[in-house]
Amino acid sequence: MRILKFGGTSVGSESAIRQVLKLITEKQKEDRIQVVVSAFGGVTNTLEEMVSDASAGRDEYRKQLKKVEQRHVDMVRTLIGVQGQSSVLTELKVLFNELEDVLHGVSLTHELTGRTHDFVLGFGERLSAFVLSAALQEQGIDAEYVDARSIIKTNADFGNARVLTTETTQNIREYFENRDTVGVVTGFIASTETGETTTLGRGGSDYTASLIGAALDADAIEIWTDVEGIMTADPRKVERHLPIQKLSYEEAMELSHFGAEVIYPPTVYPAMSASIPIYIKNTFKPESPGTVINREPADISTNVKGISSIDEVTLITLKGSGMIGVSGFAARIFSVLADAGVNIIMITQASSEHTVCFAVMPRQAPQAIQSLKTNFSFELKEGMIDEIKEESNCSIVAAVGEGMKHTPGISGRLFRALGRNGINVRAIAQGSSERNISVVVKKKDLSKTLNTIHDAFFLSKIKSVNLFLVGVGLIGNKVLELFEKQAELLFKEHNIAFNLCGIANSRYYKIEQKGMPFTGWPERLEEDGKPMDLQTFLDEAGELNLPNSLFIDCTASSEVADFYPEVMRANFSVVTANKKANSGTLHHYQALQELALKHNVMYLYETNVGAGLPVVKTLKEQVLAGDKITKIEGVLSGTLSYIFNTYDGETPFSEVVRTALEKGFTEPDPREDLNGRDVARKLLILCREAGIEVEMSDLTVENLVPESAREADSVEDFFEKLSDFDDEFKKRYDKAASNGHRLCYIASYEDGEATVSLEEIDDEHPFSGLSGSDNIIAFHTQHYRDTPLVVKGPGAGAEVTAGGILADILRISNVPAFSNEVV
């Protein structure tokens, strides 16, 4: 014997019902079966609306009623041949007249009792079971409509009635004992001992099936629905959900208790008591294995099996020193709440006993608060309880799995993932069974919480990193080009999926949750981008609620740099090639570092100095390893490196600069390179990274642009003026050469002095062999005392800079080769 339960979605449309008919026809050939059915999809909700409209005196219910009636009549007409139709339609008419009378009565009296409410809601199942049984008979199957009210008996808690198990079990056995028919039983409804209609709670048809299965000692209870079994998370909320093949009864109970509506929580219990497996199957894909729930020991290889959520709860906290060490305090709280009919979903108590915190459904919160205040009025007056606090708009998320037992590190992993994504946890509970960890978060964080935990446990093999890139100039474009080239390989070899979810230049932005191609920018922005505004861009990016969100700054804009604090507060990690933020005031630099720490985000800017060369990283690691930096020296400008590596005293200096411009080595106006400001910014950043507290004004910078050329109106005019100084540069060159030295524009820090200037260096100097446009940085430290630690190589250009940005992104994304973290 098998019990087949078909949910609302399986009987929601003509094609769905045909599929159900086909399944039943096949199954009843193989085995004895009984069928339980829900109302047609959406009908129970419509009945709720109708009865509430009627009780409020709103006439809309009539129109709704007509629609529901029409839907059932249409179904009969398509499923049943002409001869059979009229008797079925007559029976339907009787039911609808009865329903109309009740609703009319409600609308006249404006009174809605729980009794009437349940009576109205029960029509959905009475109608659907009746239509389905007639359709089966039409197919030649010996089917019989069974009204569960005659066999399932409950108390009179309308809306959520409790089953009287002994009597019900006996009734079920007696009823089905000597019958060969295929019963089509109304799910969800039952009756009191005096015969009044009750309901088993929304979603209760699953429970009906389990009760019947347990009473008849069936071989299986099959729940047929619209998903291929129970998933690792609600498929509507977590796009990357995966199917679960096996669950223990306990796991299924926990998942459903915490909101996985695919199975109604009380369903598990009767099946478990009778050791009957429950199968969750997809009506529309019967060949797919679905999920089996049984007693088999848990598959320990996956410690967390699934994640579920209750979207809206209210958190109530009692705080006060009067609770410390007073035995029976918690018991009193719970008995007060039980007397008030308040159902507690989750409880936590601080070990200091200073606070007790619990979650309830929002509609029960006022009742809970009221009864606590009344019953604890003495303690409140005497100050033993400071306050009873209510926090609404919260959600509970639970991670469930037998394998979590005795496995250390699960909660660490969970909270680490939440922390990394800036999700604030309001309360925590771990069941003593260790089968469940639940956290309460703000409702606005729900989607991110679910996705973050899901990724941390199920997709730890595949991680998605969501990129929001600002600046689509030379460097931005190179970064995108690199992604286009590398994304597939990174996915294959490192299981990281990079999604470009946001992109902007100074004029337009675009945001797309599902990700956008890496190519075709900035043209795509011009086509249909929205007008750019940093705050709007960030707000929209934040609203996507995506874990692992990265903000990448490929601009040189101060406005963008000034905005990093907002970005970090919104829990985005920042990768930047823009030097402006770190070379502003020391206060701003330090504030950014602190903010990153506070919001648990990463802030990386390797390309601020030496483009893609590992300069900042090397320095940071030395400092972390306890090394002390005694001296920093560097050629930090590719342009100036090229100019002085090329200048030989023969070709006039201004000509060398002009060639550099023509080769694209300089800024469009070479004065921006020659004035040394950019080099100074880099030195400032290096000093700060080494722990030296300096401001820009502390630096001595030699400006190589002669004073008279500084104000020149155009670049041409500037060259003209510069040529007047060709002799002067030659003199400096010759003087150096006569000592066997060469010229080098060096940034250095030593003994509290930070300078940027043109220096003479000898053959022994580590920079003497420098060529082309290479950068070089020498760190003299306590560990590197005799010869310095030197980093050398191309330190300018879009390509190497983009490479450096990508390396920072990979570091944040935890790509193993780049990661400093232990997962």
Q: Is 225 in the site for ligand ADP (CB under 6 A)?
A: yes
Q: Is 256 in the site for ligand ADP (CB under 6 A)?
A: no
The number of residues that bind ligand ASP (CB under 6 A) is 13
Contact in structure between 55 and 203 (CB atoms under 8 Å) = no
Judged by beta carbon, residue 255 or residue 318, the one nearer ligand ADP is 255
Minimum distance between the CB of residue 123 and ligand ASP, rounded to whole angstroms? 10
Judged by beta carbon, residue 128 or residue 639, the one nearer ligand ASP is 128
Q: Is 401 in the site for Mg ion (CB under 5 A)?
A: no
Residues 203, 401, 502, 529: which binds ligand ASP (CB under 6 A)? 203
**What span, in angstroms and rounded, lies between the C-alpha atoms of 429 and 437?**
6
Which residues, other chains included, contact 608 with Cβ-Cβ below 8 Å and sequence gap of 6+?
576, 577, 578, 579, 582, 583, 616, 682, 685
Judged by beta carbon, residue 159 or residue 649, the one nearer ligand ASP is 159
Within residues 227-246, the interface with ligand ADP by CB under 6 A covers 227, 230-231, 233-236
Helix (H, G, I), strand (E, B) or coil at 670: coil
Minimum distance between the CB of residue 507 and Mg ion, rounded to whole angstroms? 50
Q: Is 44 in the site for ligand ASP (CB under 6 A)?
A: yes
Count other C-beta atoms under 10 Å from residue 159's C-beta: 14
User: Which of these segments, 85-93, 189-197, 203-211, 549-557, binds Mg ion (CB under 5 A)?
Assistant: 203-211
- Choice among 153, 448, 682, 721 that is catalytic: 682
Judged by beta carbon, residue 5 or residue 599, the one nearer ligand ASP is 5
Minimum distance between the CB of residue 120 and ligand ASP, rounded to whole angstroms? 12
Residues 124, 266, 322, 584: which binds ligand ASP (CB under 6 A)? 124
Site string for ligand ADP, 10-39 (x = CB under 6 A): x---------------------------x-
Run of H or E including 703: none
| Catalytic residue check, 67 | no
Helix (H, G, I), strand (E, B) or coil at 533: coil
Residues of 345-362 as b/e, b for ≥16 C-beta within 10 angstroms? bbebbeeebebbbbbbee
**What span, in angstroms and rounded, lies between the C-alpha atoms of 172 and 28?**
20
Judged by beta carbon, residue 263 or residue 323, the one nearer Mg ion is 263
How big is the chain by its Cα radius of gyration, in Å? 36
For 151, how many CA atoms within 13 A lie in the half-sphere containing its CB? Answer: 24
Within residues 5-34, the interface with ligand ASP by CB under 6 A covers 7-8
Judged by beta carbon, residue 260 or residue 615, the one nearer ligand ADP is 260
If contact means CB under 5 to 8 A according to the sort of partner, which of Mg ion, ligand ASP, ligand ADP, none does residue 204 touch? Answer: ligand ASP
Q: CA 470 → CA 56, 473, 533, distances in Å?
A: 54, 9, 11
Helix (H, G, I), strand (E, B) or coil at 3: strand
Which segments of 149-298 does DSSP mark as H helices, in order? Answer: 165-176, 205-215, 249-257, 268-273
User: Which of these segments, 7-15, 158-166, 445-453, 692-700, binds ligand ADP (CB under 6 A)?
Assistant: 7-15
Within residues 2-31, the interface with Mg ion by CB under 5 A covers 7
Residues 38, 308, 438, 571: which binds ligand ASP (CB under 6 A)? 38
**What span, in angstroms and rounded, lies between the C-alpha atoms of 287 and 160?**
35
User: Which of these segments, 122-130, 209-217, 256-264, 565-573, binds ligand ADP (CB under 6 A)?
Assistant: 256-264
Q: CA 670 → CA 265, 370, 646, distances in Å?
A: 73, 75, 16
Contact in structure between 344 and 358 (CB atoms under 8 Å) = yes
Phi, psi of 440 (to 5 degrees): -105, 130
What is the DSSP-derived secondary structure letter of residue 110? T
**What span, in angstroms and rounded, lies between the C-alpha atoms of 464 and 468?**
13
Which residues, other chains included, contact 328 with Cβ-Cβ below 8 Å and sequence gap of 6+?
none
Q: Please give the residue whose beta carbon sits closest to ligand ADP in the complex.
A: 7
Phi, psi of 551 (to 5 degrees): -105, 125
User: Which of these segments, 164-172, 226-234, 345-353, 714-722, binds ligand ADP (CB under 6 A)?
Assistant: 226-234
Judged by beta carbon, residue 33 or residue 260, the one nearer ligand ADP is 260
Positions in the binding site for Mg ion (CB under 5 A): 7, 203
What is the set of active-site residues? 682
Positions in the binding site for ligand ASP (CB under 6 A): 7-8, 38-39, 44, 124, 187-188, 202-206
